[in-house]
Chain A
Amino acid sequence: MRVRFTVNGRPQEADDVWEGESLLYVLRERLGLPGSKNACEQGECGSCTVRLDGVPVCSCLVAAGQAEGREVVTVEGLGEGGELAPVQQAFIDAGAVQCGFCTPGLLVAADDMLQRNPNPTDEDIREALSGNLCRCTGYEKIMDAVRLAAARQSEGV
Chain B
Amino acid sequence: MDFLRPATWEEALAAKAEHPSAVPIAGGTDVMVEINFDHRRPEYLLDLTRIGDLQTWDTVPGGDAVRLGASVPYTRIMENLRGELPGLALAAHTVASPQIRNRGGVGGNLGTASPAGDAHPALLAAGAEVEAESVRGTRLIPIDDFYTGVKRNALAPDELIRAVRVQKADGPQQFSKVGTRNAMVIAVCAFGLALHPETRTVRTGIGSAAPTPIRARTAEEFLNAALEGGGFWDNGKIITPSVAKRFAELSAAACNPIDDVRGTADYRRHAVGVMARRTLMWTWEAYRATGRDAHRKGEVA
Query: Interface of A with B (CB < 8 Å)?
Result: 1, 18-20, 22, 41-44, 46, 49, 55-58, 60-63, 65-66, 68, 109, 127-128, 130-133
Contacts and interface: CB of A to CB of B under 8 A. Distances in A.
Nearest to A68: B5
Contacts of B36: 22, 41-42, 60
B33 A19 contact: no
Contacts of A133: 184
A65 B37 contact: no
Q: Per DSSP, are chain B's interface residues mostly helix, strand or loop, or mixed?
A: loop
A62 to B, nearest CB: 6
Interface residues of B, number: 29
Contact of B184 (A41, A56, A60, A131): A131
Interface string B164-206: 0000000000000000001110000000000000000000000
Nearest to B35: A20
17 contacts: A18-B1, A41-B33, A41-B36, A43-B32, A43-B33, A44-B184, A46-B97, A58-B29, A62-B32, A63-B47, A65-B3, A65-B45, A66-B25, A109-B98, A109-B99, A131-B99, A133-B184
Contacts, number: 88
B279 interface: no
Closest CB pairs A-B (n = 4): A131-B97, A130-B183, A19-B1, A19-B3
Contacts of A44: 184
Interface string B99-125: 110110000000000000000000000
Contacts of B100: 43, 58, 61, 131
A43 B96 contact: yes
A63 B96 contact: no
B28 interface: yes
